[in-house]
Amino acid sequence: MRKKWNSSRVAALSLASTLVAGGALAGAAGPASAQTTAVRVEYTCTTSLGPDVTLTAWVVGGLPDDGAGPNSVANHDYAYIDVDLDLRELRPALAIPGGVRLDGDSTATLDARIVGPDGTRTTQAAFTLAPTWLTTTEKTAVRAAGSFPVQQLSTPGNYDLRVDDLTLALRPERADGTPLGTVTASCSHDPAQNDLLGTVASQAAHFERPPRPRLLRVVSTTPTSVTLAWEGYPWWNPTKGYEVYLDGGNTGLVTEEQVTLTGLTPDRQHRAKVVTVDVQGIRSTLSQGLIFTLPRA
Nearest to 292 by CA among 248, 228, 231: 228
Per-residue pLDDT band at 11 (split at 50, 70, 90): very low
Give me the pLDDT at residue 115, please: 98
What pLDDT does residue 94 have? Answer: 66
Q: Distance (Å, rounded) from C-alpha 217 to C-alpha 39?
A: 30
| Whether 183 contacts 117, CB under 8 Å | no
Contact 230, 215 (CB under 8 A): yes
pLDDT-derived band at 15 (thresholds 50, 70, 90) equals: very low
Q: Say how far apart CA 107 and CA 92 lie, in whole Å.
A: 22
Among 4-8, 14-18, 113-117, 237-241, the minimum mean pLDDT is found in 14-18
Average pLDDT, the chain: 85
- Tell me, what's the pLDDT at 92? 65
The maximal CA–CA distance of the chain, rounded, in angstroms, is 66
pLDDT value at 4 more than 80: no
C-alpha angle 205-247-27 in degrees, rounded to nearest 5: 60
Is there a common fold for 16-203 and 208-293?
Answer: yes
Percentage of residues in the chain with pLDDT exceeding 70?
Answer: 87
Lowest pLDDT segment from 27-31, 59-63, 80-84, 118-122:
27-31
CA distance 29 to 282: 13
Residue partners of 207: CB distance under 8 A and separation at least 6: 9, 10, 11, 12, 66, 67, 74, 77
What pLDDT does 135 receive? Answer: 83
CATH class of the region 16-203 = mainly beta
Q: Strand runs (DSSP E) across 23-148, as ranges?
A: 24-30, 33-47, 52-65, 72-74, 82-91, 95-102, 107-116, 119-129, 132-136, 142-147
Over its C-alpha atoms, the chain yields an Rg (Å, rounded) of 20
The pLDDT assigned to 283 comes to 94
- Check: CATH 2.40.30.170 for 208-293? no
> What is the reported pTM?
0.84
Name the residue ranges covered by the structural domains of the chain: 16-203, 208-293
Report whether pLDDT(1) > 60. Answer: no
DSSP state of 238: P
145 to each of 47, 178, 249, how far by Cα in Å? 22, 24, 16
The mean pLDDT value for 213-231 works out to 97
46-50, 90-94, 224-228: which is most confident: 224-228
Per-residue confidence (pLDDT) for residue 44, from 0 to 100 = 94
Query: Exposed (0-12), middle (13-18) or buried (19+): which is 120, by Cβ within 10 Å?
Result: exposed
Residue 105 CA to residue 281 CA, distance in Å, equals 41
Who contacts 116 (Cβ-Cβ below 8 Å, separation ≥6)? 153, 155, 157, 158, 159, 160, 202
Question: In this structure, are residues 202 and 70 in contact, taking their beta carbons and an 8 Å threshold?
Answer: no
Distances (CA, A) of 157 to 4, 72, 199, 204: 22, 10, 10, 9
pLDDT at 12 over 80: no
**How far is residue 158's CA from residue 201's CA, in Å, rounded to a whole number?**
4
Which of the four pLDDT bands, split at 50, 70 and 90, describes residue 177? Answer: confident
Nearest partner of 55 among 67, 73, 40, judged by Cα = 40
